[in-house]
Amino acid sequence: MEKMRMESVDMIEKNIEKIESLFPHCITETKNIDGSIKKTVNFKVLKQILSNEKLDGDESYEFTWVGKKASIVEANRPIRKTLRPIVEESVDWNNTENLYIEGDNLEVLKLLQESYLERIKMIYIDPPYNTGHDFVYPDSFVMDSDDYNEGTSYLNENGDINYNRTNESSRPRYHSDWCSLIYSRLLLSRNLLSDNGVIFISIDENEVHNMRKMCDEVFGEANFVSQLGWQKVYSPKNQARFFSNDYEFILCYCKDINKFKLGELPRTSKMNARYKNPDNDPRGDWKPGDCVGTGERKNGYYNITGPTGKTFNVPKGKHWVYAPDTMKRLIEENKIWWGKDGNSFPSVKQFLSDVGGRKASSLLLYEDYGHTDMAKKDLIKLFSDFTKVPFDTPKPTKLIKMLVMLGSNENDIILDFFAGSSTTAHSIFELNLENNSHRKFVLVQLPEPLLNNDEASKKGLLTISDVGKERIRRAGIKVKNENPLLASNMDVGFRVFKLDDTNMSDVYYSPNDYSQDLLSRCESNIKVDRSNLDLLFGCLLDWGLPLSLPYISENIDGYTVHNYNNGDLIACFDENISDLVIKYMAKNNPLRVIFRDSSFSNSSSKINVVEIFKALAPDTKVKVI
């Protein structure tokens, strides 16, 4: 039994707790002199996550692999990239709150760190399982050592990603590469989860042990919620060498076990069938519950009188579960049932309206949540003009819908950064329709080519991300067409973004490398192919604003002024902006303002801007790019 502390707070313990809440993977265990276990900081790991350099020393942490330190360094390494808006591939660009981001998820997660910090309620990922046939993305950090590069065929002869390369178990760093891929991404994704957030990870028997160890480190062992088993096939495979592996896993970890609450599932009609209403109680259906407990209790043995005058008491060795006052109140409120004749032994009415939903089971049977074939059917129903399903490993919408129901509430944002065919988006549309909820998604998918699929390429789908976007478009249309009234106001749109190099030209970052002459000849510090919208969304990422909010672009005095979310940020990227425009922007009293550095012909015009804002909007933060 735990003892009272009877002394002041141990500040070291408190400090360790603070570090743990920020960086759970830096906490390990050690023994006290008396043999009891206490938490301690693993300074090697802490030092590493605070350093840009790969630190020397043994990689003696409990769970390690070749490249672990490098994967931590990589997760923390800043990148000069941006997300470019692609309006023409989007649906309902102006009004939607959903995002689809095309690119390598490691880099995308880095770019989302400020804008989505602690804003994501639920993450679902279904990464490559490392079965020996999966393509595992060659992160640059695993390419460090020459000897390793040799013979890995990560890149093709043109230096591009070799998408044909599978991670076969005979390769020297078979598990290590996969662990590095997952670990760096888990580290970054944890920052995006809200305090009450949760992550679900699909994985099979090949790497579930390593995935759990990594999750224990990244999310903290104490935040492990469950390891679900999903029955993925409806009939065992007789050709299996040993067992027919009929199920796989879904790991569930939360950000903070004290703040996380798992949702419930709707009750089944079978469960509700036990509730009836024989006395037409206006409070609805109810079922009789016991008023008697085993054993004797003080205040638990007394007479009560029923509606016909008959008195009742509990048998010897039992007690009424309610104290006399409570029982009196329940009788007055017509919550005690005396049988149809009013003469039966009393029971308490348990109303259906008072019982919550259904607790989810960790065993997910295909009858309830679908199997892999059903998942393909979900997809082919949308792509009925295709003879072959354009993506081989989707998950059933029933399964993902259930996870979303358990892990998020009606207005939350759900992130899936191994999006594949966009089952997560499709499931969210269906759930929003059924529950009248407004869940939103952020999906990330690498533009991995669809190999050997002539039919898809003839129909314009060249990459998995093309399939993913097309599925969302089709799922949105289907939901709207099939439910014209219910879905009329539903958000089935999405804004598309593509990962690309920074909007800024190299002079911006390293002017010292350029001669004065060359600098003056450079027209702009912004790449020539970048639009106003590119710059606006690049600034949003930089300033940590979400990418899904509404904005207007107005023409003021011949200049374009973008007003993002009603004054969260106002930007004008035109040259030689007039005072009238600057005053117009300031009068809106925005929180943030952005101009282009080259908008100002000299330093006195910059001072002029500062003066205007000082006078009209002193609290506005003004920056230039």
**Interacting residues toward ligand SAM by CB under 6 A:** 104-105, 126-128, 137, 391, 393-395, 418, 420-421, 423, 444-446, 448, 464
Strand, helix or coil at 229? strand
Q: Which is nearer to ligand SAM, 393 or 505 (CB)?
A: 393
Q: Which is nearer to ligand SAM, 360 or 446 (CB)?
A: 446
Closest CB 169 distance from ligand SAM, rounded Å: 18
d(C-alpha 599, C-alpha 14), whole Å: 51
Strand, helix or coil at 377? helix
Outline where 461-601 has alpha helix (H): 464-482, 506-509, 516-521, 532-543, 579-587
CA-based nearest residue to 124, from 383, 550, 381, 426: 426
Q: Which is nearer to ligand SAM, 391 or 429 (CB)?
A: 391
* DSSP per-residue string spanning 285-312: -EEEE--EEES--TT----EE-TTS-EE
Q: Which is nearer to ligand SAM, 371 or 596 (CB)?
A: 371
Q: Which is nearer to ligand SAM, 425 or 570 (CB)?
A: 425
Q: 168: Cβ–Cβ under 8 A, 6 or more apart, which residues?
A: 132, 133, 174
Q: Which is nearer to ligand SAM, 98 or 223 (CB)?
A: 98
Closest CB 141 distance from ligand SAM, rounded Å: 13
How is residue 550 written in tokens? 């509404």
Q: 590: Cβ–Cβ under 8 A, 6 or more apart, which residues?
A: 563, 567, 568, 569, 570, 617, 620
Q: Which is nearer to ligand SAM, 399 or 582 (CB)?
A: 399
Closest CB 458 distance from ligand SAM, rounded Å: 21
Phi/psi for 478 (5° steps) reads: -60, -50
Q: Which is nearer to ligand SAM, 24 or 394 (CB)?
A: 394
Closest CB 468 distance from ligand SAM, rounded Å: 8
Closest CB 203 distance from ligand SAM, rounded Å: 10
Closest CB 36 distance from ligand SAM, rounded Å: 43
Q: Which is nearer to ligand SAM, 129 or 551 (CB)?
A: 129
Q: 44: Cβ–Cβ under 8 A, 6 or more apart, which residues?
A: 55, 57, 60, 61
Pairing relationship of beta strands 318-320 and 292-294 according to DSSP bridges: antiparallel
DSSP 37: E
Strand, helix or coil at 123? strand
Closest CB 389 distance from ligand SAM, rounded Å: 11
How far is the CA of 152 from the CAs of 161, 374, 447, in angstroms?
12, 36, 21
d(C-alpha 419, C-alpha 447), whole Å: 11
How is residue 566 written in tokens? 């009603």
Q: Which is nearer to ligand SAM, 188 or 336 (CB)?
A: 188
Closest CB 75 distance from ligand SAM, rounded Å: 13
Closest CB 385 distance from ligand SAM, rounded Å: 19
Closest CB 401 distance from ligand SAM, rounded Å: 12
Is residue 444 within 8 A of residue 108, CB to CB? The reply is yes
Closest CB 265 distance from ligand SAM, rounded Å: 21
Closest CB 391 distance from ligand SAM, rounded Å: 6
d(C-alpha 389, C-alpha 375), whole Å: 10
The region, left, alpha or beta by phi > 0 then psi within -120 to 50, assigned to residue 339 is left
Closest CB 405 distance from ligand SAM, rounded Å: 17
Q: Which is nearer to ligand SAM, 115 or 130 (CB)?
A: 130
Q: Which is nearer to ligand SAM, 215 or 444 (CB)?
A: 444
Phi/psi for 361 (5° steps) reads: -95, 150
- Residue corresponding to tokens 């759900």: 414
How far is the CA of 101 from the CAs of 72, 82, 419, in angstroms?
23, 11, 10
Q: Which residue is nearest to ligand SAM (CB)?
A: 420
Q: Which is nearer to ligand SAM, 349 or 395 (CB)?
A: 395
d(C-alpha 293, C-alpha 275), whole Å: 22
d(C-alpha 261, C-alpha 621), whole Å: 38
- Residue corresponding to tokens 């879905």: 487
d(C-alpha 213, C-alpha 68), whole Å: 13
Long-range contacts formed by 35-40: CB under 8 A, 24+ apart: 39/13, 40/16
Closest CB 125 distance from ligand SAM, rounded Å: 8
Q: Which is nearer to ligand SAM, 194 or 421 (CB)?
A: 421
